[in-house]
Chain A
Amino acid sequence: MSENKQNSAPKSYLEETGGRKGIFKWILSTDHKRIGLLYLYSIMAWFFIGVTLGVLMKLELIAPGKTIMGAQSYNATFTVHGVIMIFLVVIPGLPAVFGNFMLPIQIGAKDVAFPKLNLLSWYIYIAGSILVVSSLFAGGGPPDTGWTFYAPYSFKTGTNMLPAVLGAFVLGFSSILTGLNFIVTTHRLRAPGMSWMKLPVFPWAIYGTAWIQLLATPIVGITLLMVLGERIFNIGFFDPAKGGDPILFQHLFWIYSHPAVYIMILPAMGAISEIIPTFSKKTIFGYRFIVFSTLAIAFVGYFVWGHHMFTSGMSGTALFTFSILTFIVAIPSAIKVFNWVATMHQGSISTDVPFLWAASFIFVFLVGGLTGLVLGALATNVHLHDTAFVVGHFHFIVFGGTGFAFFGALHYWFPKIYGKMYDRSWAKTGWAIFFVGYIALYMPMFFLGVMGMPRRYFDYLPEYHGPNIISSLGALVMVTGFVIMVINLFRAVKTGEKAPQNPWGGTNLEWQISSPPTLENFDEIPTIDKATYKYD
């Protein structure tokens, strides 16, 4: 590896400005690394807003009755929180940030296949986000339908639905184009010798995800257009008064939105599959099975959308099928968990910051997955559907899963991205506080759900008070940990020590180039002769 060290050190991508100044060196650059960071900063900004809204809701729910806001504001808050978190944060999330940054590097390419399209996708993302946010300020007030936009309420409400729906529609294009770009990149730009079975797991996951983005997103696009048609022209697809069917909307919505959950989680699993081998100094256990299970999830994930609608009135046969497929799609995830733990067996483990995030990911992901089994079974679903239990479950998956993996990946690749190292003991403190707060925030929701507290409730009966207090306090603790983490990273960008080329002893291509990488990543496209994650 050491012969890769450059003595005449060419400029890093951060110094290479292409003659542009100030903000233009970012927003006009087609370098996949700069675009990755553009996404990182925009997504982080939305995430801060989303978290703030989440905390406001938890403050409202700290006691029965009105505490800090009225019902209308609360309804708008959970809607905007959900829309921001889903469409602006976790769906683009790992693919747009780390996929962009790392996919070309990990497959030994200089950039993605279509760099200009890549930049265009970011502009579309920003345009979509601006549309979504404009709904807060213009017209009849922020939307109050929930992020699911269920008909017929979504076209009866007087609030400002149109821009939110239109925004989600535009965002879909960003997702589709990014997916397309990554698929072509993975097919065409792999370095010589990098056969499919030598591809690290993260690019595999990004590749599988890209197919879902490409194939599932158009469905939600059409559905959202139908809502627009409904609101502007009163067509009546979903309006029972005009012979339409509100349940049709739910089908169309979930046909996309369930696979979208896998858009969120597959790249997260990919990132975890990078971190665990690196910190165990061991090749990943069952590489083929991990890759195969990624593809299995991407495939079977298309056929389980009905489990969001067990109480909507589908036929018994449909319920039977959706329930059993839901259980089956759990198996590939279980396989991954077993393989990750087996990778640690007889390793030589350093419990550094990214590893702590990865190990805690396994725990929270297990909780999310196992509670998913409770919701997948018909009898228990009927009881728990649309209660706080569901809120706990999906936060454990999308926030526990994707969020923890995102923070793990951020700490893992940070030294590569910025060429700087953060303060590790502060990072560990932040993680520990975050983890404790996280558990306190979401665990009580399972109890509330079992006790029967419905979701999207601005107010609740006094019998639900106890667990809600713990949950609200947990949110405050968690945010404290989060703030510590963010400040620590910001400080590192400014004043961190210089990071070496391979601080963690990783084996994949990104660790064989300088930190931060040069504009073209590799002086010379490498030839790959070894399998991935080789430690001997």
Chain B
Amino acid sequence: MYDISPQDASNFVAGVDLAFMIILIVSVFFLVAITAVMIYFIRRYKKEKHPKAIQNEGSVKLELLWTFIPLALVLVMFYFGWMGWKPMKNPPEEAMEVTAIARMWNFRFEYENGKLTDSLYVPVNQPVVLNLRALDVLHSLYIPAFRVKEDMVPGNLKKMWFIPGQVGSYDIFCTEYCGLEHSYMYTGVRVMPEEEFEQWLKDTTAVAATTDASATPADQGFDVLTRNGCNACHSSDGSRLVGPSYLGHWGTMREVTVDGEKTEVMVDEEYIRTSIYDPNAAIVDGFNKGLMLSYEGLVTEEEIELIIAYIKSINE
């Protein structure tokens, strides 16, 4: 029944599932046994059949029995839980390192050679350590098929690791509630044969080339917005999401708060640029501070030109 992935999808599956099966079997046994005994008593000692109750104040022997047998059983459960968990804490020395970066509401994975992707690619049968970084709020990286999960805490660099055992694709979810689009914060892990992975890793151009250079600057700009997950917070149709819409403000004066004081600024190239590189410098009235993070180093100056081209185009 417990078949959401092959038993060797990762090195932890066997330990976790063993603990699960042991607890499940003991639990189902007690659930069925206690319920059956209770139903038997209810029918056997029905008032009609058994008009006079036989009083019984208790039995110390029985009490000891049903204290110590369950105690022994739960300690066994604890033991298997502990044994299944222990290896998760000890990544091997020679593991490949990938940095997983979570922000509202996407994951990114950065490889040692600087390659940056939005889903995780790993070689089969090789230990992988993920360095977990959260930029804004709590997130949690969960790969059900691998039975691993670890919270991602801003300001606190954490690690998780696993050895994928089977080539294939599996889900990655964010399991710590992180706001509006929490349920859309998922991606995948692709487990590849060793050589294929080496090939893939070397090819650092593949990512940069996702934008079609022959498209208009405005279209390319939209592409940049999509790729960086801006559209989770900003709409193109004037509707209010977590942040203001791209539509309807270009070239107007905007009420903002700078260092706690209200002023007005003109929405122009410079404003857009600072809004992206230093979003909390000027907070638009009616919106909250701290939600948008700086995209410095993620969005290039050229890409900002494209974004501006897009914003201009929809406001024409």
Tell me if A341 and B180 are in contact (CB < 8 A).
Answer: no
Per the 8 Å Cβ criterion, residues 47-69 of B in contact with A are 47, 50-59, 62-63, 66-67
Q: Are A280 and B45 in contact (CB under 8 A)?
A: yes
Main DSSP-derived SS at the A contact region: helix
B89 touches A316 (CB 8 A): yes
Q: Are B81 and A376 touching (Cβ within 8 A)? A: yes
> How far does the alpha carbon of A330 sit from the alpha carbon of B148 in the complex, in Å?
26
B153 within 8 A of A: yes
In the complex, which of the residues A323, A351, A459 contacts B81, with contact meaning CB atoms closer than 8 Å? A323
Closest residue of chain A to B15 (Cβ to Cβ) is: A379
Is B106 engaged at the interface, CB distance under 8 Å to the other chain? Answer: no
How far, in angstroms, from A461 to B186 measured CA to CA in the complex? 10
A380 within 8 A of B: yes
B87 CB, min distance to chain A CBs, angstroms = 9
Q: Are B45 and A346 within 8 A (Cβ)?
A: yes
Complex Cα distance A342/B290, Å? 58
Whether A289 contacts B63 in the complex (CB less than 8 A), given A153-B177, A153-B178, A377-B19, comes out as yes
B181 at the interface (CB under 8 A from A): yes
Known: A344-B38, A535-B55. A374 touches B27 (CB 8 A): yes
The one of A335, A379, A452 that contacts B80, using a Cβ cutoff of 8 Å? A379
Is B230 on the interface with A (CB-CB < 8 A)?
no
Known contacts A283-B55, A381-B81, A385-B175: does B45 contact A348 (CB below 8 Å)? yes
**In the complex, what residues of B have CB within 8 A of residue A387's CB?**
175
- Residue A14 at the chain B interface, CB threshold 8 Å: no
Q: Which residues between 370 and 402 of chain A lie within 8 Å of chain B, taking CB atoms?
A: 370-371, 373-374, 376-383, 385-387
A 279-299 binary contact with B (CB < 8 Å = 1; else 0): 011110111110000000000
Contact between chains at A383 and B16 (CB < 8 Å)? yes
Instruction: Identify the closest chain B residue to A449 (Cβ).
Output: B144
A370 touches B38 (CB 8 A): no
**Does the CB pair B16–A346 fall under 8 Å?**
no
Which residues of the other chain, B, contact A288 by a CB distance below 8 angstroms? 58
The contact sample of 8 A-B pairs, CB cut-off 8 A, is A338-B66, A363-B38, A366-B34, A376-B81, A378-B81, A379-B84, A382-B148, A383-B144
Q: A345-B45, A378-B81, A382-B147 are in contact. Are A282 and B55 (CB under 8 A)?
A: yes
Q: Are B37 and A341 in contact (CB under 8 A)?
A: yes
Q: Which of A448-465 contact B (CB under 8 A)?
A: 450-452, 454-461
State whether the Cβ of A313 lies closer than 8 Å to any Cβ in chain B. yes
A312 within 8 Å of B by Cβ? yes
Give complex CA distance A162, B16 in Å.
Answer: 41
B47 touches A348 (CB 8 A): yes
Residue of B4, B57, B148, B183 touching A285 (CB-CB under 8 A): B57
Which one of B70, B85, B137 contacts A379 once the chains associate, using CB atoms below 8 Å? Answer: B85
User: Which one of B38, B81, B149, B171 contacts A359 once the chains associate, using CB atoms below 8 Å?
Assistant: B38
A349-B89 contact given A240-B156, A334-B70, A450-B2, CB 8 Å threshold: no
Residue of B nearest to A345 (CB): B41
A346 engages B19 (CB within 8 Å): no
Which positions 10-37 of chain B face chain A at CB distance < 8 Å? 12, 15-16, 19-20, 23-24, 27, 30-31, 34-35, 37
Q: How many residues of A contact B (CB 8 A)?
A: 86
Partner among A347, A456, A461 whose Cβ is within 8 Å of the Cβ of B177: A456
Asked if B51 and A348 sit within 8 Å, CB to CB, the answer is: yes
Query: Is A274 an interface residue, CB under 8 A from the partner?
Result: no
Question: Is residue B102 contacting chain A, with contact meaning CB distance below 8 A?
Answer: no
| CB-based contact A156/B155 at 8 Å | no
Report A307 CB to chain B, min CB distance, Å.
11
- CB neighbours (8 Å) of A328 from chain B are 71, 74
> Separation in Å of the B70 CB from the closest CB of chain A?
5
Q: B53 touching A71 by the CB < 8 A rule?
A: no
Min CB–CB distance A326 → chain B (angstroms) = 8
Q: Which residue of A lies closest to B82 (CB)?
A: A378
Is residue B215 within 8 Å, beta carbon to beta carbon, of the partner chain?
A: no
Contact with A along B173-196 (1 / 0, CB 8 A): 111111111111010000000000
Q: Check: A26 CB closer than 8 A to any chain B CB.
A: no
New A-B contacts (19) at CB < 8 Å, excluding given A379-B84, A454-B175: A153-B138, A157-B179, A245-B156, A285-B58, A286-B63, A324-B78, A335-B63, A338-B62, A339-B58, A348-B51, A350-B47, A359-B38, A362-B35, A362-B38, A379-B80, A382-B147, A451-B4, A452-B171, A535-B53
Min CB gap A381→B, angstroms: 7
Interface string of B278-294 (1 = CB under 8 A from A): 00000000011111000
Looking at A47-55, A144-152, A469-477, the stretch in contact with chain B turns out to be A144-152
Decide: A153 near B58, CB < 8 A? Known: A345-B45, A456-B182, A459-B183: no
Within the complex, what minimum Cβ distance (angstroms) separates A480 from chain B? 25
Is B179 a contact of A144 with CB atoms below 8 Å?
Answer: yes
